[in-house]
Amino acid sequence: MFSFIDIIVKGGLVMAPLLLCSVIALAVVIERFLFWRRISNRQAAEEVLGLAERGDFSKASDAARRVDAPLVRVLASGLKHRNPAAAKALEVAAQKEVPVLKQRLTILDTIITLAPLLGLLGTVVGMIGSFDIMSAAGMGQPHAVTGGVAEALIATATGLLIAILTLVPYNYFTRRAERELEEIEYYASRLELALGGSQDK
């Protein structure tokens, strides 16, 4: 049974960029997980909306400024520009938060595409080595030939494994970003109603 280092060595030179891809993907997944965990609480947004619905816009603005989260920043922008263009301010602020919510997802998307291609490159390099040995020594050295095939298969399997393990969090974080934008739209609409109600009084 091969150790982890033995597998890396047998996988060939292409294993180095594949390992780099796996480290980068893991770092991005951890960072995004901590980001979503930090901003998932809706208590601050509900507090800001509660104050706005009661007409206490000064306290609502103060409460919003104390929280560093995309949803609350959008509400803070709407409160800041409530006269006369709250709706436009909310829309612009929401658009500004889109890159924040989707930050670093391009890195994961690139790794999902790149890792199998690097694995395929390892396959080609390994097969070329096998055919070179075969042409030089004939079929009299089967172990030398199968060594190149093993290198090819290890690189391919590693590339596919990295892509598969990266695809799951990528889809999860993409869906979380879409759901957060839906939440922002919902809370922005509630704030618009609260501001509209205050102007009617």
Q: In this predicted structure, what is the pLDDT of residue 69?
A: 92
* SS3 call for 187: helix
- Rg, C-alpha atoms of the chain: 27
* For residue 200, pLDDT beyond 50: no
Is residue 130 within 8 A of residue 148, CB to CB? The reply is: yes
pLDDT of residue 128: 78
Cα separation, 178 vs 68, in Å, equals 19
Q: How many whole angstroms separate alpha carbon 7 and alpha carbon 71?
A: 46
Q: Give the three-state DSSP class for 69.
A: coil
The predicted-structure confidence for 122-156, as pLDDT tens digits, reads as follows 888 877 776 666 666 555 566 655 666 766 788 89
**Distance (Å, rounded) from C-alpha 43 to C-alpha 53?**
15
Question: Which has more confidence, 109 or 83?
Answer: 109
Contact 151, 129 (CB under 8 A): yes
Q: In which element (H, E) is residue 22 found? A: helix 15-39
Q: Which of 59, 107, 87, 51 is nearest to 189 (CA)?
A: 87
- Phi then psi for residue 60, to 5 deg, are -65, -45
Output the pLDDT for position 201: 47
Res. 198: pLDDT tops 60:
no
Encoded tokens for 159: 């590339």
Q: Tell me what pLDDT residue 92 has.
A: 93
Q: Give the position of tokens 């096998």.
A: 130
Of the ranges 5-14, 59-68, 173-182, which is most confident? 173-182
More confident residue, 149 or 65: 65
Angle between the N-to-C axes of helices 43-53 and 57-65, in degrees from 0 to 180, rounded to the nearest 10:
160
pLDDT of residue 1: 46
pLDDT at res. 80: 87
Mean pLDDT of 185-201: 78
